[in-house]
Amino acid sequence: MKPLRVEREKILPAALFALLVLVPAFYFSGLIAGREISRYYALAWSLFAAAIAFAIAYTERVAFYRRIFFGVSALAFLFHFKTGLFVDTFEASCFKDTPFCHIAIAPAFLNYLYQQYLALMSPGWKLWGPLTLGAAWVFVTLALGRGWCAWACFYGGIDDALSARPGRPLLKLGWFERKFRDLPAALLVFLLLASFAYMLPVYCLWLCPFKLTGAFLDAEAPARKIQYALMGLAMTALVLGPLLTRKRIFCSYLCPFAAWQAFWGRLNPFRVTADAGKCTSCLVCVAACPMAAIRCAPGGQPEILAYCNLCGQCLDACPGGGFSYTVFGLELPARLSPFGRLLAVKYFYVFSALTLAAVFSALWGPAALRDLTLLVRGGQ
């Protein structure tokens, strides 16, 4: 093991970066979580995000620490919200009335537009979506784009964390990866049409593995059985898929929101860019990408697909340092001073993604900490 060496010149810039994340994260999470529970829990959650920011700035490794934040956030969501569905002690404090799910929004978008039309024709139109959820989505897309699936999605964190477990893949996807990489886009188109035709959230009814309940499934026995079977299949893809392949199978092949965000995420300026000059065609990046978003283009150079969610795994993996965070493909001039380093695109992106993810996860993170405290204290 290498002896731990403290690099003093990096501590202050990393602390400054952590502070920059902490202040807005605490301000907004305090507002969100503070409505129902003590703000100390929001503070604890924001400190966790700040610690991640510190680690990233200090070590300059994004993917490793991002994954810790993302996985813990998803675990907190499962713990707080999903157990709240079954156990009274942990009654979910957030989403009490309306379960919010971004994955369901994309495939029901035509229905949503139709509802907007109906709302526009009724006197209460101001109460409708564009001013609430729609605005939130536009903001997230502008600030984070496809990075949503690497930092903020409470479901993606499960897939991502599990894909890190196996040392090497037990199952190679081979031709399936080549032929079916566009499956989420096809699924999105099909679900948009089918949801519109049946005026029902077809994805939620037939495929979503996260609902963990049969409460709103079809009443008819044969259809219900198929719905359970498909839910089981999707759950297998979510849990077993990454353990067998080291890829985020659910996110890469079955999530319609992934395709939706891959399309609209272009509005966000941040990109991961490959430098062909540094590529030796070793294909390490192709194996490392959990989203199956790197293809070997003719000539042996890496081609990054629209499904890249800027997780940073390839940046860590490439032996020649051929990948970098850019703004529309452009890097900022390199600065070598300890504080000047923070003015790289990478840190602007991490600041934007981590702060937003910390604020968004304040909907369940602090509450999960409260649940945990209750559990330790004996559930009073």
Contact of residue 309 among another protein, ligand SF4, none (CB under 5-8 Å per partner type): ligand SF4
CB of 23 to ligand SF4, least distance (A): 27
- In the list 12, 87, 120, 189, the residue contacting another protein (rule: CB under 8 A) is 189
Q: How many CB atoms lie within 10 A of CB 225?
A: 12
Q: Is 118 in the site for another protein (CB under 8 A)?
A: no
Rounded to whole angstroms, the Cα distance separating 278 from 290 reads: 21
Question: 199, 230, 200: which is closest to 214 by C-alpha?
Answer: 230
**CB nearer to another protein: pick between 229 and 374:** 229
Question: 65, 12, 69: which is closest to 359 by C-alpha?
Answer: 69
Burial 78-107 (b: 16+ CB within 10 A, else e): bbbbbebeeeeebebbbeeeeeebbbbbbb
Site string for ligand SF4, 232-261 (x = CB under 6 A): -------------------x---x-xx---
Tokens of 344: 């790289």
- In the list 21, 105, 187, 293, the residue contacting ligand SF4 (rule: CB under 6 A) is 293
Q: Is 156 in the site for ligand SF4 (CB under 6 A)?
A: yes
Q: Is 56 in the site for ligand SF4 (CB under 6 A)?
A: no
Contact of residue 272 among ligand SF4, another protein, none (CB under 5-8 Å per partner type): ligand SF4
Rounded to whole angstroms, the Cα distance separating 162 from 250 reads: 11
Q: Is 222 in the site for another protein (CB under 8 A)?
A: yes
295 beta partners: 303
Rounded to whole angstroms, the Cα distance separating 20 from 351 reads: 8
Q: Which amino acid is at 131?
A: L
Question: 85, 106, 94, 81: which is closest to 201 by C-alpha?
Answer: 106
CB of 183 to another protein, least distance (A): 6
- In the list 51, 143, 185, 200, the residue contacting another protein (rule: CB under 8 A) is 185
**CB nearer to ligand SF4: pick between 192 and 304:** 304
Contact of residue 251 among another protein, ligand SF4, none (CB under 5-8 Å per partner type): ligand SF4
- In the list 125, 180, 264, 348, the residue contacting another protein (rule: CB under 8 A) is 180
Element holding 325 (H helix, E strand):
strand 323-327
Residues 275 and 323 sit within 8 Å (Cβ to Cβ): yes
Residues that bind ligand SF4 (CB under 6 A): 103, 149, 153, 155-156, 159, 251, 255, 257-258, 272, 288-289, 291, 293-294, 304, 308-314
Residues that bind another protein (CB under 8 A): 179-180, 182-183, 185-187, 189-190, 193-194, 196-197, 199, 222-223, 226
